Amino acid sequence: MEEKPRRIDPVTDRAAAAHLLGCAPDQVGYCPRCQGLTHRYGHGAQVICAACRAAEAAARG
């Protein structure tokens, strides 16, 4: 069974979040749905965080 992506708490240091997300710290921003941190800006950005995308996909079936 694959592990469900987890929300990155907004109080997490930007450099640590960037390391987890595989991007630069200046590319980290807030998910508009849960306010968790996500790779929001730049090449390969996803506005919605992985946890919210996984929850949406699970809800669809």
Is beta strand 28-30 parallel, antiparallel or unpaired with respect to 37-39? antiparallel
pLDDT score for 61? 78
CB of 56 within 8 A of CB of 15?
Answer: no
* pLDDT > 90? residue 20: yes
Q: In the predicted model, what is the mean pLDDT of residues 3-20?
A: 94
Q: What is the pLDDT of residues 43-59, one digit of tens each?
A: 999 999 999 999 999 99
- Quick one: CA dihedral 15, 42, 37, 20, positive or negative? negative
pLDDT score for 36? 97
pLDDT score for 28? 98
How high does pLDDT run on average in the chain? 94
Distance CA 34, CA 51 (A): 9
> Which amino acid is present at 41?
Y
